[in-house]
């Protein structure tokens, strides 16, 4: 019938299949084709009922989100769904696979819903800053009740077919596979014989919950879980409307709220991150057709904190792992840490004991490099020391099979220098995982001078297989994330000496939306780790004796943060309080360094910490270390707790105004004496753009 819809008949049943790979998105051409197919079915006297399904693995991934920012084509999904809803002939949604957003809203206007056991259903709109805009907030509560509907709508999380069946969202679970459609047709025939088709339109209003203050307490809960966000609360408002208004009025209000949310900074930010996370796989000068190398088996060198976490990712994806450490003892320690981690997952109900056994069966511990010859990918996660790493890579060069990808998990060291220890620098790459490596989604893929195109493609492919977002970056000290973290650390530490407290600085930055304050973060990551990174980077900071002074002193004293029970804060059980020695330490050091302490405003804390980080991000773009601003944003939102609803530091800077950032930086350059002159000269592109009134994306487009 069209490229995006297949229309067929099975006796009196018309079958309309969405055929718009990869996700059967409901963009304008698909909506037009769906409308034509639906009208044909209604007009055909030989058709008594309709089955709507999806071809391929999905039912429908929902709207074409690019339309949200570029304008919606005709017919709009809300109108089309109202037309389908009023069909005189019964319609079954045969949910063969994932049905999200507009896809689920399409299913909600049908008279019946059947789903394969492996399908998932959800309304993830709030995760991109909007509310369901094609009836989701009105029809779902009418069909399954307000409480369940609110959980699905305000969390944005999908539910399984079983859960959907339990709450009445679907009528029947059908076996998946080849017979699914046949079964769905049989179901529809059976309904024709004995059923009286109704749908959400038949329900005057959704029944409000019994508990009188339900909505008020739900609002408090949602606000707490979604700090700084508006869309989930507006979704709640819309669901409340479903309990108070007839359907058409509720739908009209839903459209208003959708449009209001879609015009918000929150929606722009979240949609920017959504698209940026999909764009990272497009790497300049690496054509899409370059295939990845085989990835059937992986080896990890170093069974420490990172090595263990990295190994778990592959075990979870069903990929065998050979784990190597220097001694049987170190190996045993690493393997028991992995086992313990999995045991915790079992107690939390994430995995069954059987699933854990299956994973552990894929893990082999070894102490000899000779055992690594089979691995397609070898990831080194030994101590952060160039000589040690070079020795490891020389060994890998000796034992790895030809074509194996050799990766280092270094956080700061020169990947080119590491590659030079081998005779195959084209196969060497950095894979910078974040801690805890089995949890954090981000991997910086560090492209060495000689990394081959298919080495990079293999790294990207690997990230996809283990559910990570991999961002390709260039070689420099700290790559993208840690390089930007440096000026943030520098300023937050310096502000202590000038008069601010760790608590005030942490409060200002968490109020902005950072998932943790900087000092709580240094304590969590290990103060010694930051200090040893600074040692490696001494040349760049040698002239500033105040540079992260307090952090370095704490590291010297072995007060390394959470792991030693004491750092900037004191940790006693679950209690955290300021380390009582910190105020005196700061005052003493400020005096020794000749820094006069004064009152520091929240605005100053905010500007100096964040704008320094943003300025470094601009330099990273100028140096070509990151390919686009969106890549930096993906890194900061996934690896450093930058609020996704602000879209990452580069997007946020464009929204906030580069001129304001530039003005503040030049102001500090003048007002902070030697410190200002040393560190606050704005990046040249920032100066240019501030003057022209441009955005970062004018110079560095997100393409």
- Give the catalytic positions in this structure: 105, 125
| Residue span binding ligand NAD (CB under 6 A) among the ranges 288-296, 305-313, 511-519, 675-683 | 305-313
Establish if 291 lies at the interface with ligand NAD (CB under 6 A): no
Establish if 326 lies at the interface with ligand NAD (CB under 6 A): yes
With CB under 6 A, what is the number of residues at the site for ligand NAD? 25
Considering beta carbons, is residue 171 or 444 the nearer one to ligand NAD?
Answer: 444
Considering beta carbons, is residue 215 or 522 the nearer one to ligand NAD?
Answer: 522
Establish if 366 lies at the interface with ligand NAD (CB under 6 A): no
- Among 137, 410, 566, 612, interactor with ligand NAD by CB under 6 A: 410
- Among 392, 419, 475, 696, interactor with ligand NAD by CB under 6 A: 392
> What is the rounded radius of gyration, in angstroms, for the C-alpha atoms of the chain?
28
Residue with the shortest CB distance to ligand NAD: 304
| Positive/negative CA dihedral, 147, 148, 153, 156 | positive
Measured distance CA(169)–CA(185) in Å, rounded? 19
| Residue span binding ligand NAD (CB under 6 A) among the ranges 324-332, 414-422, 488-496, 651-659 | 324-332
* Shortest reach from residue 325's CB to ligand NAD, in Å: 5
Establish if 330 lies at the interface with ligand NAD (CB under 6 A): yes
Establish if 431 lies at the interface with ligand NAD (CB under 6 A): no
Place of tokens 């003048």: 670
Measured distance CA(339)–CA(583) in Å, rounded? 41
Considering beta carbons, is residue 165 or 432 the nearer one to ligand NAD?
Answer: 432
- Among 324, 445, 500, 664, interactor with ligand NAD by CB under 6 A: 324
Considering beta carbons, is residue 85 or 552 the nearer one to ligand NAD?
Answer: 552
Place of tokens 């004191």: 570
Establish if 703 lies at the interface with ligand NAD (CB under 6 A): no
Establish if 388 lies at the interface with ligand NAD (CB under 6 A): yes
Establish if 435 lies at the interface with ligand NAD (CB under 6 A): yes
Q: Does an H or E element contain 321, and which?
A: strand 321-324
Burial class from Cβ neighbours inside 10 Å (0-12, 13-18, 19+) for residue 47 reads middle
Q: Does an H or E element contain 242, and which?
A: helix 231-244
Q: Quick one: tokens of 504?
A: 């005030």
Establish if 304 lies at the interface with ligand NAD (CB under 6 A): yes
* Shortest reach from residue 408's CB to ligand NAD, in Å: 7
Strand 377-380 with 405-408, pairing: parallel
Measured distance CA(408)–CA(379) in Å, rounded? 6
Helix spans in 110-207 (H): 136-144, 146-155, 161-166, 180-194
Q: Rounded to the nearest 5°, which phi and psi values hold at 50? A: -130, 140
| Residue span binding ligand NAD (CB under 6 A) among the ranges 200-208, 323-331, 592-600, 693-701 | 323-331
Q: Are 696 and 689 in contact (CB under 8 A)?
A: yes
* Shortest reach from residue 369's CB to ligand NAD, in Å: 8
Establish if 325 lies at the interface with ligand NAD (CB under 6 A): yes
Distances (CA, A) of 571 to 197, 400, 504, 552, 583: 61, 44, 18, 19, 17
* Shortest reach from residue 597's CB to ligand NAD, in Å: 32
Q: How many residues does the chain have?
A: 703
Q: Rounded to the nearest 5°, which phi and psi values hold at 643? A: -65, 125
- Among 169, 301, 372, 582, interactor with ligand NAD by CB under 6 A: 301
- Among 188, 262, 271, 409, interactor with ligand NAD by CB under 6 A: 409
Considering beta carbons, is residue 131 or 533 the nearer one to ligand NAD?
Answer: 533
Strand 377-380 with 298-301, pairing: parallel
Distance between start and end Cα atoms, the chain:
34
| Positive/negative CA dihedral, 680, 684, 687, 689 | negative
* Shortest reach from residue 365's CB to ligand NAD, in Å: 12
Considering beta carbons, is residue 125 or 380 the nearer one to ligand NAD?
Answer: 380
Establish if 281 lies at the interface with ligand NAD (CB under 6 A): no
Establish if 419 lies at the interface with ligand NAD (CB under 6 A): no
Measured distance CA(465)–CA(444) in Å, rounded? 15
* Shortest reach from residue 366's CB to ligand NAD, in Å: 10
Q: Which of residues 641-680 bind ligand NAD (CB under 6 A)?
A: none
Establish if 75 lies at the interface with ligand NAD (CB under 6 A): no
**CB-based contacts of 287, cutoff 8 Å, min separation 6:** 453
**CB-based contacts of 587, cutoff 8 Å, min separation 6:** 597
Positions that interact with ligand NAD (CB under 6 A):
301-307, 324-326, 330, 334, 381-384, 388, 392, 409-411, 433-435, 525
């Amino acid at each position: 019938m069209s490229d995006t819809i297949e229309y067929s008949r099975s006796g009196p049943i018309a079958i309309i299949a969405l055929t718009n790979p990869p996700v059967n998105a409901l963009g304008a051409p698909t909506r037009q084709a769906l409308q034509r197919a639906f009208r044909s079915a209604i007009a055909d006297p030989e058709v008594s009922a309709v089955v709507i399904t999806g071809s391929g693995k999905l039912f429908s991934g929902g709207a074409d989100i690019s339309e949200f920012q570029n304008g919606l084509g005709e017919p709009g999904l809300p109108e089309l769904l109202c037309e389908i809803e009023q069909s005189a002939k019964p319609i079954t949604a045969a949910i063969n696979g994932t049905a999200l957003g507009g896809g689920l809203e399409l299913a909600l206007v049908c008279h019946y819903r059947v789903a394969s056991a492996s399908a998932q259903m959800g309304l993830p709109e709030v995760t991109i800053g909007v509310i369901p805009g094609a009836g989701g907030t009105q029809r779902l509560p009418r069909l399954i009740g307000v409480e369940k509907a609110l959980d699905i709508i305000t969390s944005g999380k999908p539910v399984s077919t079983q859960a959907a069946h339990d709450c009445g969202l679907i009528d029947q679970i059908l076996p998946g596979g080849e017979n699914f459609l046949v079964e769905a047709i049989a179901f529809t025939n059976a309904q024709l014989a004995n059923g009286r088709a109704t749908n959400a339109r038949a329900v005057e209003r959704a029944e409000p919950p019994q508990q009188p203050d339900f909505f008020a307490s739900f609002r408090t809960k949602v606000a707490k879980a979604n700090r700084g966000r508006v869309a989930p609360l507006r979704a709640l408002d819309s669901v409340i409307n479903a309990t108070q208004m007839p359907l058409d009025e509720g739908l009209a209000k839903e459209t208003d709220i959708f449009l209001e949310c879609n015009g918000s900074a929150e929606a722009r930010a979240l949609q920017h991150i959504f698209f940026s996370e999909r764009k990272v796989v497009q790497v300049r000068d690496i054509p899409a057709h370059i295939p990845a190398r085989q990835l059937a088996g992986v080896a990890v060198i170093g069974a420490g904190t990172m090595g263990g976490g990295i190994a778990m990712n592959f075990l979870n994806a069903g990929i065998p792992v050979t784990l190597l450490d220097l001694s049987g003892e170190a190996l045993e320690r690493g393997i028991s840490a992995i086992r313990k981690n999995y045991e915790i997952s079992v107690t939390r109900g994430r995995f069954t004991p059987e699933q854990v056994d299956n994973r552990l069966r894929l893990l082999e511990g070894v102490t000899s490099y000779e055992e690594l010859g089979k691995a397609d990918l070898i990831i080194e996660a030994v101590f952060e020391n160039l000589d040690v790493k070079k020795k490891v890579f020389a060994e890998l060069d000796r034992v790895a099979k030809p074509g194996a990808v050799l990766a280092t998990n270094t956080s700061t060291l020169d990947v080119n220098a590491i590659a030079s220890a081998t005779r195959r620098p084209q196969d060497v790459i950095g894979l910078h995982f974040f801690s805890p490596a089995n949890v954090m989604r981000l991997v910086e893929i560090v492209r060495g001078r000689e990394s081959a195109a298919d080495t990079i493609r293999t790294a990207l492919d690997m990230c996809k297989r283990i559910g990570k977002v991999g961002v390709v970056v260039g070689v420099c000290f700290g790559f993208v994330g840690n390089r930007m973290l440096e000026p943030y650390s520098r300023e937050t530490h310096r502000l202590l000496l000038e008069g601010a407290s760790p608590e005030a600085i942490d409060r200002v930055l968490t109020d902005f939306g950072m998932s943790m304050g900087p000092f709580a973060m240094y304590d969590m990551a290990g103060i010694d780790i930051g200090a040893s990174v600074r040692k490696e980077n001494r040349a760049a900071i040698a002239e500033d004796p105040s540079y992260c002074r307090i952090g370095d002193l704490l590291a010297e004293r072995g007060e390394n943060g959470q792991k030693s029970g004491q750092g900037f804060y004191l940790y006693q059980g679950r209690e955290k309080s300021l380390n009582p020695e910190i105020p005196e330490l700061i005052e003493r050091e400020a005096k020794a360094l000749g820094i006069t302490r004064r009152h520091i405003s929240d605005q100053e804390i905010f500007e100096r910490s964040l704008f320094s980080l943003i300025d470094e991000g601009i330099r990273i773009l100028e140096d070509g270390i990151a390919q686009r601003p969106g890549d930096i944003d993906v890194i900061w939102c996934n690896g450093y707790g930058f609020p996704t609803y602000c879209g990452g530091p580069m997007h946020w800077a464009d929204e906030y105004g580069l001129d304001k950032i530039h003005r503040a930086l030049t102001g500090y350059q003048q007002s902070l004496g030697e410190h200002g002159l040393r560190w606050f000269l704005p990046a040249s592109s920032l100066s240019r753009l501030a003057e022209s009134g441009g955005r970062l994306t004018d110079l560095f487009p997100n393409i």
